[in-house]
């Protein structure tokens, strides 16, 4: 059976996105080896979990199996990472506050869509805007990394494989959004491609290691 272009792109985007989700594995292995979470930020894990949750709901409303499946896998993966983080953290009160913030962000929109919006098109519009906004906000973390690179003139703080994989995934989802004519998938991934292009350019502009001043004798 031959795959159409849309199906091929959807499978490719799904596989590559799952690959990006798997980048959390080294992080949790590092946590288990050290026995603490002192130098590991919880925010990325929570942000991806919240994003996958609302996008999964969007996929259910849209009846799009690709969106449902990839985000369901993301929910499971991030839930496992969060559970491991919770076990090893020494500051659970701070973690509880972040979890409450995440719940306060996600559950109101899900409650609103479930019980206060009767029209499916309106629900898709409102949830799509929310998903889009959440994705745009999530670009704040990479922008902080970009600012650090410009300040130090070194890409030491950025992971090239992660930047490259996010760039490729953004292109794939942008193309998928174009094929199914979904502006809520296209918009955040346009920004993702632009940000990814800029980040990749930094690796060519600045060295991987911080330059140290040479001493003269």
Q: What is the pLDDT of residue 1?
A: 46
At 67-107, the pLDDT tens digits run 999 999 999 999 999 999 999 999 899 999 999 999 999 99
Q: Is the pLDDT of residue 216 over 70?
A: no
User: pLDDT, tens digit, for every residue of 12-65?
Assistant: 999 999 999 998 899 899 999 999 988 788 888 898 999 999 999 999 999 999
Q: pLDDT higher for 127 or 205?
A: 127
160-199: pLDDT as tens digits = 888 899 999 999 999 999 999 999 999 999 999 999 999 9
Helix 160-179 / helix 183-205 crossing angle, nearest 10 deg: 150
Q: How confident is the model at residue 210 (pLDDT cuts 50, 70, 90)?
A: low
């Amino acid at each position: 059976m031959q795959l159409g272009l849309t199906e091929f792109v959807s499978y490719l985007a799904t596989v590559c996105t799952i690959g990006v989700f798997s980048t959390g594995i080294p992080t949790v292995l590092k946590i288990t080896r050290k026995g603490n979470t002192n130098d590991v930020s919880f925010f990325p894990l929570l942000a991806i979990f919240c994003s996958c949750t609302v996008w999964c709901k969007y996929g259910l409303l849209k009846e799009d199996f690709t969106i449902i499946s990839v985000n369901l896998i993301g929910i499971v993966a991030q839930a496992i990472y969060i559970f491991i983080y919770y076990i090893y953290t020494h500051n659970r009160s701070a973690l509880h506050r972040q979890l409450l913030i995440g719940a306060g962000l996600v559950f109101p929109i899900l409650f609103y869509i479930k019980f206060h919006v009767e029209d499916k098109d309106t629900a898709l519009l409102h949830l799509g805007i929310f998903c889009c906004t959440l994705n745009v906000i999530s670009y704040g973390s990479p922008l902080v990394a970009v600012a650090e690179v410009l300040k130090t003139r070194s890409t030491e703080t950025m992971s090239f494989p992660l930047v490259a994989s996010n760039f490729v995934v953004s292109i794939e989802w942008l193309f998928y959004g174009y094929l199914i004519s979904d502006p809520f998938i296209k918009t955040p991934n346009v920004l993702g491609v632009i940000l990814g292009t800029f980040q990749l350019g930094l690796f060519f502009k600045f060295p991987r290691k911080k330059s140290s001043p040479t001493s003269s004798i």
